[in-house]
Amino acid sequence: MAQKPSIPKGTRDFSPEEMAKRNYIFDTIKEVFTLHGFRQIETPSMENLSTLMGKYGEEGDKLLFKILNSGDFLKGVTDEQLIERNCPRLTSSLCEKGLRYDLTVPFARYVVQHRNELQFPFKRFQIQPVWRADRPQKGRYREFYQCDADVIGTDSLLNEIDLLEIIDEVFRRFGISITIKLNNRKVLSGIAEIIGEPERITDITVAIDKIDKIGIENVNAELLEKGISQEAVKQLQPILSLSGTNEEKLESLSKLLASSETGMKGIEELKYVIGGTIAAGIDARLELDVSLARGLNYYTGTIIEVKANDVQIGSITGGGRYDNLTGVFGMEGVSGVGISFGADRIFDVLNQLDLYPSEAKNTTKLMFVNFGEKESAASLKYAKRLRKAGISCEVYPENAKMKKQMGYANDNKIPFVAIVGENELEKGTIMLKDMQKGEQQELTVDEIAAKL
């Protein structure tokens, strides 16, 4: 036999069992998005490289999968250029298109391209794969799904509350206990301001973002090393050791940031969002965390991150408010707020906690054993009747040995087997076998439809 075929590293096949679980995840997220009035769009897998390049930093440009032009792809490249072997430069001659790297840039491109057809505010969601030529490792793939919801064209903080309710409802449905961490970029700006280092906000937040991992001492050392003054680091200490309830933290912050207009605006926003979300009623723990920074240069207001309470794993959802989604495509002033569910990590959490409902484990409910032509003809009719009642079922396609047929039902985790033999055929009944309990019961097709 020829060499066994394989798939590119970092990519995955999904078996029926895995697909049932993945569908459960995507369907749940999609249903909650839809219940909240978000509307789905899809964009092409390929975008023009001119749309993608330069949007993800230099490293990101390298991680884009580029598609070789069709036909004579060397047309327009001179021999000299070829022999020079400058790969990045040659790429732009050889390739016009690349695979989507995330859903945000294609969304921004979509908004600009279709701005005359769109109504603002625009609440869109998008669930599609993205591709990155990253080095594959455990939990990191070259093809994976993102599940994004954004509201653009509105500054109202009701949108933040809406998105937090969505997060709460999605994880409530999954049965995953979560903590939603909240922060606000304006609070971070305020902190940098009051400690007298307003220009160093990036260094400061990058450092304090590491508190959970390396502890306060090391954060302080890093700040000093980066040239933040001793005095500023000292002033930072009460903020780094904020504790208590959200109300208490906000109270302390109000005093600490009193002299910063921006900081106080951030506190006001946090109060509104936290108050409104709790009033709307959520199950999740809501925790103000001033060390939360997440892609700071992108977010301008609320910052959101979700952790699972019972599993050690990174952030399983994140998001925040941004000011200028589409400026890079020449359309200014489109602000918005969005969240992104990490489907692969949620998949891992659900697996670890074994939280999948039984519907996500087996899709086919019943198999008719095949005893020959007459019996299978009757079974086909029964199957049609059951499907009308929404019951997934199949007739084993061959009159094979009983053991083989039962093995098939077993291997495919089909919970019920229906036996229509000569006897049952005469009486117009079906022997229904519960594969788990091992019990069997003689019923009519209508009784089975009602029972299952």
Residues 19-38 that bind a second copy (CB under 8 A): 19-20, 22-23, 34-37
Calculate Rg over the CA atoms of the chain.
Answer: 28
Out of 21, 124, 321, 345, the residue judged to bind a second copy by CB under 8 A = 124
- Indicate the SS3 state at residue 125: strand
Out of 313, 331, 425, 449, the residue judged to bind a second copy by CB under 8 A = 331
Tell me whether residue 1 or residue 255 sits nearer to a second copy (CB atom): 1
Q: If binding is defined by CB under 8 A, does position 421 make contact with a second copy? A: no
Supply the minimum distance, in Å, between the C-beta of residue 224 and a second copy.
Answer: 38
Site residues for a second copy, window 226-245 (CB under 8 A)? none
Question: How long, in residues, is the chain?
Answer: 452
Out of 28, 104, 146, 159, the residue judged to bind a second copy by CB under 8 A = 159
Q: Which residues contact 402 (CB under 8 A, 6 or more apart)?
A: 369
Site residues for a second copy, window 251-280 (CB under 8 A)? 276, 279-280
Out of 54, 68, 248, 251, the residue judged to bind a second copy by CB under 8 A = 68
Structure tokens at 267: 């506190």
Alpha-carbon span 245 to 90, nearest angstrom: 56
Contact string 283-322 vs a second copy (x = CB under 8 A)? ----------------------------------------
Site residues for a second copy, window 165-194 (CB under 8 A)? 165, 169
CA atoms within 13 A on the CB side of 424: 23
Tell me whether residue 97 or residue 433 sits nearer to a second copy (CB atom): 97
Q: What is the DSSP letter of 86?
A: -
Alpha-carbon span 371 to 421, nearest angstrom: 6
Region of 225-233, 237-245, 408-416, 420-428 interacting with a second copy (CB under 8 A): 408-416
Query: How far is residue 400 CA from its own chain's centroid?
Result: 44
Tell me whether residue 282 or residue 350 sits nearer to a second copy (CB atom): 282
Out of 101, 110, 299, 341, the residue judged to bind a second copy by CB under 8 A = 110
Site residues for a second copy, window 47-66 (CB under 8 A)? 47-48, 50-51, 62-63, 65-66
Instruction: Report whether the peptide linkage leading into residue 357 is cis, meaning its omega lies within 30 degrees of zero.
Output: no
Supply the minimum distance, in Å, between the C-beta of residue 97 and a second copy.
Answer: 5
Alpha-carbon span 20 to 18, nearest angstrom: 5
Site residues for a second copy, window 80-109 (CB under 8 A)? 82-83, 85, 87, 90-91, 94-97, 99, 109
Quick check: 430 and 446 in contact, CB under 8 A? Answer: no
Size of residue set near a second copy by CB under 8 A: 111
- In 313-401, at which residue ranges do the beta strands (DSSP E only) sit? 317-322, 336-341, 366-368, 393-395
What is the rounded end-to-end Cα distance, in angstroms, of the chain? 45
H or E segment and range at residue 97 = strand 95-99
Region of 111-119, 206-214, 339-347, 348-356 interacting with a second copy (CB under 8 A): 111-119
Region of 72-80, 207-215, 220-228, 291-299 interacting with a second copy (CB under 8 A): 72-80
Structure tokens at 449: 């439809």
Tell me whether residue 237 or residue 410 sits nearer to a second copy (CB atom): 410
Quick check: 371 and 420 in contact, CB under 8 A? Answer: yes
Tell me whether residue 76 or residue 215 sits nearer to a second copy (CB atom): 76
Structure tokens at 188: 């971070």
Supply the minimum distance, in Å, between the C-beta of residue 315 and a second copy.
Answer: 25
Supply the minimum distance, in Å, between the C-beta of residue 374 and a second copy.
Answer: 11
Tell me whether residue 254 or residue 392 sits nearer to a second copy (CB atom): 392
Out of 412, 443, 447, 449, the residue judged to bind a second copy by CB under 8 A = 412
Tell me whether residue 251 or residue 398 sits nearer to a second copy (CB atom): 398
Tokens 């989507």, residue located: 100
Alpha-carbon span 170 to 103, nearest angstrom: 20
For residue 280, report the phi and psi dihedrals to the nearest 5 degrees: -70, -20
Region of 41-49, 185-193, 287-295, 415-423 interacting with a second copy (CB under 8 A): 41-49
Which of 272, 250, 259 has the alpha carbon at shortest distance from 195?
A: 259
Is residue 452 classed exposed, middle or buried when 0-12, 13-18 and 19+ CB atoms within 10 A define those classes? middle
Out of 392, 406, 447, 449, the residue judged to bind a second copy by CB under 8 A = 392
Tell me whether residue 65 or residue 101 sits nearer to a second copy (CB atom): 65
Supply the minimum distance, in Å, between the C-beta of residue 295 and a second copy.
Answer: 22
What single-letter amino acid sits at 132?
R
Site residues for a second copy, window 371-390 (CB under 8 A)? 376-377, 380-381, 384, 387, 390
Tell me whether residue 203 or residue 323 sits nearer to a second copy (CB atom): 323
Whole-number Cα distances in Å, 3 to 7, 14, 241, 299: 13, 22, 60, 50
Query: How far is residue 357 CA from its own chain's centroid?
Result: 19
